[in-house]
Structure 1
Amino acid sequence: MSAGHHHQLYRPGDTLVHRLPPQCKLLAAAGFAVAVVATPRESFWAFGVYASLLAGVAVAAHVPAAFILRRMVIEVPFVLFAVAIPIIGLGERVDVLGVSLSLEGLWAAWNVLAKATLGVIASILLAATTEPRMMLLGAERLRLPRLLVQIATFMLRYMDVILDQMRRMRIARESRGFVPRDIRQAPVLAKSAGALFIRSYERGERVHLAMLSRGYTGEMPMIRELPASARQWGAAALLPGLAAATAVLSWSLT
């Protein structure tokens, strides 16, 4: 059930970060996120430290800044939400460039934007240095619910199949002269989405029956062991450890 190629977010490499077992990197990213979220919003210096730590990981993993910036587009909804908070917020207000903004809203916007940005960058670095298939194996090693891991595995395995089906359906529509220009073409697209759902459901049923015929009992066999040495755990613990120390120090200085 492994994917036959690398995901777009993954950058092949042979750095120390790439070689770390996926379960180590998953726990490191989760620990870093917890430390960031627990940091008081007034500690600007702490967020600078977090950004420096992520920059160090990016340098060690040979992940260029342009690669990270291009994939931070996913954060746009958070940015729009953060921009709206000072405008619609209540409480004491201040004038910024002639616009009346909520002071508490400004703090809330900074809090959301800073922590979301750091979390997104950490996720991008995790995905850039860990193959999706290996990440799922690491999640299984961490004793995450096996059913959820299996669902995610099949989603990864058959995502390209569904995307290819969508591409063929689009080509078929265009070969018949269909060009979506306005809302009047929405029913055609809705019917295509419905047909894609039915085909995907039927494919899932066939795959499940094939698995049952081969002895599937609800658990997938462990295809590859992922041992992690104490040295590797220690290397992975550097990021969340330094982040946790920064969070504790930020609370003591507040």
Structure 2
Amino acid sequence: MNPLHRPGSTPVHRLPAQVKIVGALLLVLCVVATERTAYWAFGAYLGVLGGVWAAARIPPGWLAKRALIETPFVVLALAAPFLGGGPTTEVLGVTVSHGGLLAGWNILVKGTLGVLTSLTLAATTSPRDLVVGLQRLRVPAVVVTIATLMLRYAEVLVAEARRMRLARISRGHDPRFLWQVGATARGIGTLFLRSYERGERVHLAMVSRGYRGALPDPGHRAGASAWLTGLAPALAAGAVLAATL
């Protein structure tokens, strides 16, 4: 089960994957292109996303827990005001760099909106539909194939690594300290070889079953109404961006 996908029958879930991919990309581009001092615009972008969450019935708490993946960028954003140079200013009695403060805000707000947009796309689109959507958008076949195998076999490799670790522990060996790095490296090498061999077997099995570099397409194409509905949030974000220029 994919922890990022929330199955549902909402209008957002029913939109063709290629429409949602393009819409998410355009929204992120609008966020990135916005001047960092246009503070109100970022609130407007969050409002646009909030409308999508309401339509897709995605609880804010579900998004908040998965948005913790951006914690390293949050740390960087919080450190930027203290590491930057140039003119200084005071915030809550603490002297910080004005340029660093703006840089930290830029990283924090744009990174957060980008992560939330990606989570929204993942929550409303199954992994297989994402791959089919990329295929319909004429993304190079090699990229689609890599994405397909990664999504399909990431959990298999994680399970294999877990079995190898349990096997080591059952034999009285559990490398976890710096001086045991050699055993850890050997385990990673073994996992790589097993993964490579599994990939060869899977590819041969796929070719023998008629695979020619593309997934079967169910044939549900996006009509004009689907494009208009799916791109409505991106169009709203574009209007916000135009208002800041």
Q: Shorter-chain-normalised TM-score: which range?
A: over 0.9
State the SS of the aligned residue for 2:132: helix
Q: Which residue of 1 aligns with 2:225?
A: 231
Aligned CA distance change for structure 1 residues 11 and 39 (closer, same or farther; 3 Å): same
- Contact conserved, 1:17 with 1:60, CA < 8 A, in 2? yes
State the SS of the aligned residue for 1:178: coil
In the alignment, the residues of structure 1 paired with residue 241 and residue 176 of structure 2 have an alpha-carbon distance, to the nearest angstrom, of 52
5 Å-filtered alignment, 1:211-250, equals 211-214=206-209, 216-217=211-212, 219-250=213-244
Which of 196, 208, 222 in structure 1 is aligned with 2:203?
Answer: 208
In the alignment, the residues of structure 1 paired with residue 144 and residue 39 of structure 2 have an alpha-carbon distance, to the nearest angstrom, of 37
In the alignment, the residues of structure 2 paired with residue 82 and residue 221 of structure 1 have an alpha-carbon distance, to the nearest angstrom, of 41
CA apart distance, 1:215:
5.2
TM-score by length of 2: 0.94
Runs of 5+ consecutive residues of structure 2 not aligned to the other structure = none
Runs of 5+ consecutive residues of structure 1 not aligned to the other structure = 1-5
CA apart distance, 1:216:
4.9
Which amino acid in structure 1 is aligned with residue 244 of structure 2? S
**1:82 and 2:90 equivalent?**
no
Q: Which residue of 1 aligns with 2:34?
A: 39
Please provide the CA RMSD for this pair.
Answer: 1.6
5 Å-filtered alignment, 1:90-169, equals 90-169=85-164
In the alignment, the residues of structure 2 paired with residue 39 and residue 25 of structure 1 have an alpha-carbon distance, to the nearest angstrom, of 21
Q: Which whole-Å deviations, capped at 9, do the CAs of 1:71-104 have from their partners, x for residues lacking one?
A: 0111111111111211111110123345431101
Q: Which residue of 2 aligns with 1:185?
A: 180
Q: Which residue of 2 aligns with 1:26?
A: 21
- Contact conserved, 1:94 with 1:101, CA < 8 A, in 2? yes
CA apart distance, 1:69:
0.4
Aligned length: 245
Say which is worse superposed, 238-247 or 163-172, in terms of deviation. Answer: 163-172
Q: Which whole-Å deviations, capped at 9, do the CAs of 1:18-60 have from their partners, x for residues lacking one?
A: 0000000000000100111111111111111111111111111
TM-score by length of 1: 0.91
Which amino acid in structure 2 is aligned with residue 249 of structure 1? A
Q: Which residue of 2 aligns with 1:3?
A: none
- Contact conserved, 1:39 with 1:247, CA < 8 A, in 2? yes
CA apart distance, 1:182:
2.5
Q: Which residue of 2 aligns with 1:50?
A: 45
CA apart distance, 1:158:
1.5
Q: Which whole-Å deviations, capped at 9, do the CAs of 1:150-172 have from their partners, x for residues lacking one?
A: 11101111112211211110110
